[in-house]
Amino acid sequence: MSEVQWSPVGEDDVFSQRVREQWTEQLGRRLDILIAGCGRGGTLDAGRSDPQVTGVDEDLPPLRAHASSRQDLDACYLDDMRTVPVPPRSYDVVYVSFLLERIRNAELVLDRLAGGLRPGGLLLVKLRDRGSAYGFCDRVTPSWLRLALWKHFMPPGSVGPLPAIYEPIASREGIRAYCLMRGLMIAEDYSGATGPALRGPHAGLVKLVCGAVSALSGDRLSGTNDEVCMVIRKPQNHFARLI
């Protein structure tokens, strides 16, 4: 298994760099990339590789509006994530961007996405950690209150509000266990503090609340890091126990 690397910053640059390296390793063959969570964000700088990029996401009004405005997608499918088209072994890179924490049956969906990878492909995962104070506040706040507070706490241009489901897999421990069971190799593991409310007009208050929640939990819930980013590789051999 590859040595896991840690860093608190620069995840987007790392993801883009790994995609460019993947293109080089394939001797310049065009990359096929799937972005799962394209309605909220998720972009990659593939350099001069000129990949074929497909986006998938849930069919919700704010996600539909953002996805339709993107110019970097060659194809886009919005539907229930359990049924959107993900052909097996069709992609060199699958980027799962802030998706797992906001959908139900997240492990089943991740199985479908990982099954879309070719052997040796990259699974790039970015999620809001349910084991963080920010993630805890997000998932326990009633949907009606989240809707009322959204425009007051989020920076302009934020996509949402979106569901906050946070099944067990939407955590660092959940992804580690998933990779162990599926024979996937975690190559790099990053942490960050990027919750949108931390960049909004009341960021100071949000940080204060997260700090208080962390303290009340005995530091079990992190008050400083709320984001998990992982570079995961699907092995070339038959030990990858994927569908």
DSSP 8-class letter at 198: G
CATH topology of domain 5-129+164-194+227-233: Rossmann fold (3.40.50)
Structure tokens at 28: 């310049």
Angle among Cα 7, 32, 114 to the nearest 5 degrees reads 60
Provide DSSP, 80-143.
Answer: -TTTS---TT-EEEEEEES-GGGSSSHHHHHHHHHHTEEEEEEEEEEEE-TTBHHHHHHHHS-H
Backbone torsions φ then ψ of 63, nearest 5 degrees: -70, -40
Cα separation of 210 and 222, whole Å? 8
Q: Please name the amino acid found at residue 217.
A: S
Report pLDDT for 29: 85
Cα separation of 70 and 52, whole Å? 14
Taking residues 211-229, report their average pLDDT.
96
Provide DSSP, 67-90.
Answer: HHH-SS-SEEEES-TTTS---TT-
Q: Percentage of the chain with pLDDT > 90?
A: 83
Q: Please name the amino acid found at residue 122.
A: L
Is residue 84's pLDDT more than 90? yes
Asked whether the beta carbons of 81 and 103 are under 8 A apart, the reply is yes
8 versus 42: the higher-pLDDT residue is 42
Please name which of 52, 48, 100, 56 lies closest in space to residue 74, comparing C-alpha atoms.
Answer: 52
Asked whether the beta carbons of 63 and 39 are under 8 A apart, the reply is yes
Report pLDDT for 12: 61
CA atoms within 13 A on the CB side of 99: 31
Is residue 3's pLDDT more than 90? no
Model confidence over 100-152: pLDDT tens digits? 999 999 999 999 999 999 999 999 999 999 999 999 999 999 999 999 999 99
